Amino acid sequence: MISITLPDGNIKRFDHAPTGLELARSISEGLSRSAVAMEVDRRLVDLNAPIDHDAAVRLVTTRDAEALEIMRHSAAHVMAQAILRLYPDAKLTIGPVVEEGFYYDIDMPPVSEEDFPRIEAEIRKIIQAKLPIRRREVTKAEALSLYGNEPYKLEMIRELADGTISVYEQGEFADLCRGPHVPHTGMVKAIKLLKVSGAYWRADPSRAQLQRIYGTAFFDKKELDDYLHFLEEAKRRNHRKIGQALDLFSFHDEAPGMAFFHPKGMVIWNALLDYWREVHRAAGYVETKTPILLNRSLWERSGHWANYRENMYTATIDEVEYAIKPMNCPGGMLLYNRTPHSYRDLPLRAAEIGLVHRHELSGVLSGLFRVRAFHQDDAHIFMTPEQIEAEILGVLRLVETIYSTFGLGFHLELSTRPQKSIGTDEQWAQATDGLKSALAAYGKAYKLNEGDGAFYGPKIDVHIKDALGRTWQCGTIQLDMSLPERFNLHYVARDNERRRPIMIHRVIYGSIERFLGILVEHFAGRFPLWMSPLQAVLLPMNDELAPYAQAVKERFDAAGLRTEVDSRTESLNRKVREAQLVHTPLILTIGAREKEAGTLAVRTLDGKVAHGVDQARFIDTVLDNIRRRALDFEGFPKA
How many Cβ atoms are within 10 Å of 86's Cβ, its own excluded? 14
Cβ-defined contacts of 223-226 (< 8 Å, 24+): 223/190, 224/190, 224/191, 224/192, 225/190
Q: At what angle do helices 388-405 and 263-282 cross, to 10 degrees?
A: 140
Q: Which residue of the set 358, 370, 522, 553 is catalytic?
A: 358
- Output Rg (C-alpha) for the chain, integer angstroms: 30
Q: Which residue of the set 81, 170, 211, 376 is catalytic?
A: 376
Alpha-helix runs per DSSP H in 41-115 = 65-86
The H or E element containing residue 357 is strand 348-357
DSSP letter string over 495-535?
TS-EEPPEEEEEEEEEEHHHHHHHHHHHHTT---TTT-S--
459 is catalytic: yes
The H or E element containing residue 391 is helix 388-405
- How far apart CA 422 and CA 480 sit, in angstroms, is 10
- How far apart CA 563 and CA 623 sit, in angstroms, is 13
Q: Which residue of the set 105, 175, 377, 378 is catalytic?
A: 378
- Cβ(212)–Cβ(96) under 8 Å? no
Cβ-defined contacts of 26-35 (< 8 Å, 24+): 27/59, 31/59, 31/61, 34/61, 34/62, 34/63, 35/59, 35/60, 35/61
C-alpha dihedral over 535, 536, 537, 541, to 10 degrees? 170
Angle at 349 between CA 348 and CA 351, to 5 degrees: 140
Which residue type is seen at 555?
A: R
- How far apart CA 635 and CA 613 sit, in angstroms, is 10
- Cβ(453)–Cβ(464) under 8 Å? no
- Cβ(418)–Cβ(385) under 8 Å? no
How many Cβ atoms are within 10 Å of 183's Cβ, its own excluded? 22
Q: What is the largest CA-CA distance in the chain?
A: 97
- Cβ(51)–Cβ(20) under 8 Å? yes
568 is catalytic: no
The H or E element containing residue 210 is strand 209-218
* CA nearest neighbour of 587 among 598, 600, 597, 596: 600
Angle at 291 between CA 288 and CA 293, to 5 degrees: 155
How many Cβ atoms are within 10 Å of 354's Cβ, its own excluded? 22
181 is catalytic: no
329 is catalytic: yes
Q: Which residue of the set 329, 370, 377, 461 is catalytic?
A: 329
387 is catalytic: no
53 is catalytic: no
Q: Which residue of the set 184, 459, 514, 575 is catalytic?
A: 459
Which of helix, strand or coil describes residue 195? strand
Burial class of residue 138, CB neighbours in 10 A (0-12, 13-18, 19+): middle
Q: How far is CA 307 from CA 121, 301, 403, 422, 450, in A?
A: 50, 11, 32, 9, 20
Q: Which residue of the set 237, 304, 505, 514 is catalytic?
A: 505
358 is catalytic: yes
- Cβ(258)–Cβ(373) under 8 Å? yes
Residues that are catalytic: 329, 358, 376, 378, 380, 459, 505
